[in-house]
Amino acid sequence: MTDGDAISGLACRAAYLDWLAGERRAAANTVEAYGRDLADLLGFLTHHLGGEPDLAALAALRPQDLRAFLAHRADRNDGAATRARKLAAARGFLRHLARRHGFPPLALAGLRGPRPKPPMPRALTPDQAIAVTHSVGETQDDPALAARDAALFTLLYGGGLRIGEALALDLRDLPPAGSDSALRVRGKGGRERLVPLLPAVRAALSALLRHRAGATPDSPLFLGARGGRLDPAVAQKVLREFRRREGLPESATPHALRHSFATHLLGGGADLRAIQELLGHASLSTTQRYTAVDAARLLATWQAAHPRADGKGRSEKPSGGG
Cα–chain center distance at 273: 23
Strand partners, 193: 185
86 is catalytic: no
* Active-site position among 255, 273, 289, 306: 255
> Is there a contact between 167 and 232 (Cβ–Cβ < 8 Å)?
yes
CB within 8 Å of 203: residues ≥ 6 apart:
none
DSSP 311: S
Known catalytic membership, residue 188: yes
| Three-class DSSP category at 223 | strand
Distances (CA, A) of 208 to 166, 168, 223, 238, 241: 14, 16, 11, 17, 21
Catalytic residue (choose from 85, 86, 258, 259)? 258
Is residue 321 within 8 A of residue 283, CB to CB? The reply is yes
Annotated catalytic residue 255: yes
Annotation says 290 is catalytic: yes
User: Catalytic site residue 258?
Assistant: yes
Kind and range of the H or E run holding 235 = helix 232-246
Of 188, 191, 245, 297, catalytic: 188
The Cα 113–Cα 79 span in angstroms is 12
Q: Point out the catalytic residue in the list 85, 162, 202, 243.
A: 162
Catalytic site residues?
Answer: 162, 188, 255, 258, 281, 290
